[in-house]
A and B are shown apart, each in its own frame.
Chain A
Amino acid sequence: MDHTTLPESASLLPDLYGRPQADRFMRHLTAFGDRYTPALGSLGLRRSPRLPEQPRSLPALVLVVTGHRPVAEDVVELRLADPSGDLLPRWQPGAHLRLTLPSGRERHYSLCGDPADRRSYRIAVRRLPDGGGGSLEIHDELHLGVRLTVRRPRNGFPFCGEQKLLLLAGGIGVTPLLPIAREAGRRGLDWHLVYAGRSAETMPFTEELRALAPERVSLLVGRVPSGAELLERARPGSAVYCCGPAPMLSAVQRALDASPAGALHFERFAAAPIVDGKPFTVQLGADGLTLDVAADRSALDVLREARPDLPYSCHQGFCGTCRVQLLAGTPDHRDRRLTSEERADGALLPCVSRAAEGEHLVLDI
Chain B
Amino acid sequence: MPGTGTAPEVHDNLVLEPRDVKFDWSQLPLHWIPDEPFATHTINVLHLLLPEGERWFVRVFKDALPMITDEQLREEVLGFIGQEAIHAQAHEEVLEHLLSQGLDPRPYVRQLAWLFQRVLGERPGLSARQRRENVIERVAFVAAIEHFTAFLGNWALNSPGLDRAQADPTMLDLLRWHGAEEVEHRSVAYDLMVHLDPGYLRRIRGMMVSGPLLVRLWVRGVRFLLAADPTLHGRIRPSWLAARSAAERGMLPDPVQSLRSGLRYLKRGYHPTQEGSSAQALSYLATSPAARAAVAR
Contacts and interface: CB of A to CB of B under 8 A. Distances in A.
Contacts of A254: 296
Given A1-B109, A13-B110, A26-B114, A313 B78 contact: yes
A113 interface: no
Interface string A43-84: 011111001111111000000000000000000000000000
Interface stretch (A202-210, A213-221, A263-271, A324-332): A263-271
Contacts, number: 206
A1 B195 contact: no
The interface residues of chain B, by DSSP majority, are classed as helix
A47 B199 contact: yes
A320 B92 CA distance: 15
Given A26-B111, A319-B85, A263 B137 contact: no
Contact of B108 (A16, A45, A161): A16
Interface string B254-293: 0000000000000000000000001110110011000010
A85 interface: no
Given A23-B111, A263-B286, A313 B82 contact: yes
Contacts of B279: 158, 160-161
B15 A263 contact: no
Nearest to A32: B119
A25 B212 CA distance: 13
Of B13, B120, B202, the most chain A CB neighbours within 10 A belong to: B13
B107 A16 contact: yes
Interface in A101-121: none
Nearest to A237: B2
Contacts of A158: 11, 14, 278-279, 282
B243 interface: no
Interface in A1-37: 1-3, 6-7, 10, 13-18, 23, 25-26, 29-30, 32-33, 37
A290 to B, nearest CB: 24
A256 B295 CA distance: 11
Interface string B1-29: 01101110101111101101000000000
B189 interface: no
B186 to A, nearest CB: 14
A112 to B, nearest CB: 17
B282 A47 contact: no
A131 to B, nearest CB: 22
Interface residues of B, number: 85
A163 interface: yes
Interface of A: 1-3, 6-7, 10, 13-18, 23, 25-26, 29-30, 32-33, 37-38, 40-41, 44-48, 51-57, 90-92, 95, 152-156, 158, 160-163, 239, 250, 253-254, 256, 262-266, 268, 270, 309, 311-314, 316, 318-321, 336
Interface of B: 2-3, 5-7, 9, 11-15, 17-18, 20, 51-52, 58, 62, 65-66, 69-73, 76, 78-79, 81-83, 85-86, 92, 95-96, 99, 105-111, 113-115, 117-120, 123, 126-127, 129-130, 132-134, 136-137, 191, 194-199, 201-202, 213, 216, 220, 224, 227, 278-280, 282-283, 286-287, 292, 295-296
